[in-house]
Amino acid sequence: MPPMLMHLRISTPEKQRSGVWLPLFLVWLILLPLVLLILVVTSVVDVVLFVAGETYHHYTLLLFRCFGVLAATRGTEVRIRADATDIDMCFA
């Protein structure tokens, strides 16, 4: 399951801000038709390459592995500390 929310907090030494929650699930809903189209195309290409006897015909598997890498970003925390600004990002 890919990350659904991102908590972003930007603060300076003078000001502590609580942060903002960004809904990533809206992005996934927008990208869903494109992903389904790509899944159909890669499946057709895999079948055609398999029938043609080509050696590499795993584009659908490659697409699923990319989804796995995307899902692995859930729970990732990124913290950037500088003299003037601190940036914290957390994917939930």
Q: What is the pLDDT of residues 76-90, one digit of tens each?
A: 888 888 888 888 888
Q: What is the DSSP string of 47-59?
A: HHHHHHT-S---H
For residue 37, pLDDT over 90 is answered with yes
Q: Can you give the pLDDT at residue 24?
A: 83
Q: Domain for residue 33, yes or no?
A: no
Average pLDDT over residues 55-62: 78
Q: What is the DSSP string of 11-77?
A: E-SS-----EEEETHHHHHHHHHHHHHHHHHHHHHHHHHHHHT-S---HHHHHHHHHHHHHTTTT-E
**Structural domain range at position 79:** 40-87
Q: Domain for residue 50, yes or no?
A: yes
Q: Domain for residue 32, yes or no?
A: no
Q: Domain for residue 17, yes or no?
A: no
Domain count, the chain: 1
Q: Domain for residue 49, yes or no?
A: yes
pTM: predicted TM-score of the whole model, two decimal places: 0.61
Q: At which residue do the structure tokens 């990350």 appear?
A: 3
CA distance 80 to 57: 41
For residue 13, pLDDT over 80 is answered with no
Average pLDDT over residues 22-51: 87
Q: Can you give the pLDDT at residue 33?
A: 92
Q: Domain for residue 64, yes or no?
A: yes
